[in-house]
Amino acid sequence: MIRKNILITGASSGLGKGMAIEFAKMGRNLALCARRMERLQELKIELLKINPEIKVVIKSLDVDNHDLVFEVFKEFQQEFGHLDRVIVNAGMGKGASIGTGYFYANKQTAVTNFVSALAQCEAAMEIFRQQNAGHLVTISSISAIRGGRRAINVYAATKAGLSSLSEGLRIDVLDTPIKVSTVHPGFIRSEINEKVKKVPFIVDTETGCKAIVKAIEKEGANSYVPRWPWAVLQPILRVAPLSWLKNMS
């Protein structure tokens, strides 16, 4: 099945922008939203240069405005007539070690990455249940597998929560025309981690987004990308000693 009309949140930069570019190359119509409208406008021009035949609609959306999430998603559905796939991508990585005075930064990450992701899932699933069809994709992280220290601490917890939420949704709509997939990217260079210097197995944004889109198209339950090394490493990470995890974060 070809998912023609695709909604992506957090589409103005990083993985969201990269996925939009890859889907444009594939001839998909795109409903793109993010806080920074000027960047979305620039991206729309870029996408239509890549493929003038596609439809691109952009809207301003701060996913922490939960009522607005529902409004914007419904507006996209009305404009496209049917949403085939929603990719819950918007997120952030602010924070520091718990107890070091950065509660509000940690709280912001917790709200955006989990509560606001819940709002996006709710809005998408309302539409899919109405349509009796659709593909929900949540962008989690390889860090969801185990806890992490310092700035990764809260970030990893939110992604673990998102992965668990997605699995529950998957069970809820099992054997229906609605599909739920969770993608767990490894280390991909983007704005969220541009200040981090030493990261194992990191790949550039284009390489990472191609791997993510390939996994999304397969519509599997869980995927770990790029497949090398993360599909191999993820079962090892589940049982790795804490000292080993410390050196990875």
| Domains of the chain listed by start with CATH number | 5-248 (3.40.50.720)
Q: Which residues partner with 39 through β-bridges? A: none
Two tokens, residue 168: 């529950």
User: What pLDDT score does 198 carry?
Assistant: 66
Q: Residues with catalytic annotation?
A: 155
User: What pLDDT score does 112 carry?
Assistant: 98
Rg of the chain's alpha carbons, rounded to an integer? 17
> Tokens 């809260």 label which residue?
154
pLDDT in tens, 105-159: 999 999 999 999 999 999 999 999 999 999 999 999 999 998 888 888 999 999 9
pTM of the model: 0.94
Q: At 194, is the pLDDT very low, low, confident or very high (cuts 50, 70, 90)?
A: low
The runs of H, that is alpha helices, within 7-151 are: 14-25, 37-50, 66-80, 103-110, 116-131
